[in-house]
Structure formats: structure tokens, C-alpha cells
Amino acid sequence: MYKAGTTLLELLVGLAIGAVLIASGALGLTAILAHVRLAGAADALATALRSTRVEALARHEELVVRFDRRAAGWTVVSPNGTPLATSLLPSGVTIADVPPRDRVRFGPLGTADNASIRLVAGDGERIVVVNQRGRVRAR
């Protein structure tokens, strides 16, 4: 006689297979989240640098973006040393390489110091580049 339904053994095997699939998916999800955080941090840094350039043009004065590796962030500073804006990177994203003297200067005409800022998260990296004309790009 045939009975409809599943046995306890079939149920346990199904649960074990499901647990393995969920665990392998969670490992992939961690790498995806690190990549998304890194891309977002690079875009945020590039936007902050572009905004600082525009602000330097509008004020007709030099503005400086100072990088702090320990705090994993940056601060925009006016010529008299007053902090104008501060931002921190998301958890898991660090600043690996910064320009000499840990800063980028934007002049009153929109010019800037050549700089490359390398951000790292997990096994990924993004580089934000500033050229002499003040153009900022993330790659």
C-alpha cells in the first residue's frame, strides 16, 4: 500500500541541501556587498572632490581636501583652516594610497594637484584620479 507524503529522512536530506545552498549563497553575497560598498565609496569621494572644485571656483579661493587613513575619511578645509565638510567611508572600505601630504588642493581657477586616491575593500580596489585641470574621475 502506498502512502502520500514524505518521510523524515527525505525531509532531513532536503533541509541539508537547502542549508548548503544558502551557505554558498551567503559567501557570494558578502563579496557582492563589498564590491557595492567600494563602488559607492569611490563615487562619493569623486563627487566630494568635484563639489570642492566647484566651491573653490565660486569662492575664488583655494580649498583643500585632507585625507585621514586612520578614520577612513576626508575633510574639506578652507584657507583659514576651518573644516567645511567631513565624510567617512563605509565599513570595510579603506584608503590604501593617497597623494603626498595626504591632501588635494583646488585653486580659485579650478586647477588642482595631480592625485590618485586608491580605495580598497576585500579583494577589490577603485582609484579616484584628479588631474591638473581639476577633472575628477573614478575607475
Per-residue pLDDT of the chain (139 residues; tens, 9 = 90+): 567 777 888 888 888 888 887 777 766 777 888 899 999 999 999 999 999 999 999 999 999 999 999 999 999 999 999 999 999 999 999 999 999 899 999 999 999 999 999 999 988 999 999 999 999 999 9
The DSSP annotation for 68-120 comes to: ETTTTEEEEE-TTS-EEEEEEPPTT-EEEE--GGGEEEE-TTS-B--EEEEEE
CATH number of the domain within which 15 lies: 3.55.40.10
In tens, the pLDDT along 24-55 reads 776 677 788 889 999 999 999 999 999 999 99
Is residue 3 assigned to a domain?
Answer: no
Q: What's the CA gap between 4 and 77, in Å, rounded?
A: 73
Residue 2 belongs to some domain of the structure: no
Residue 1 lies in a domain: no
**Distance (Å, rounded) from C-alpha 136 to C-alpha 138?**
7
Range of the domain at 79: 8-138
Domain-located, residue 108: yes
Q: Into how many domains does the chain fold?
A: 1
Say how far apart CA 20 and CA 28 lie, in whole Å.
13
Asked if residue 91 belongs to a domain, the reply is: yes
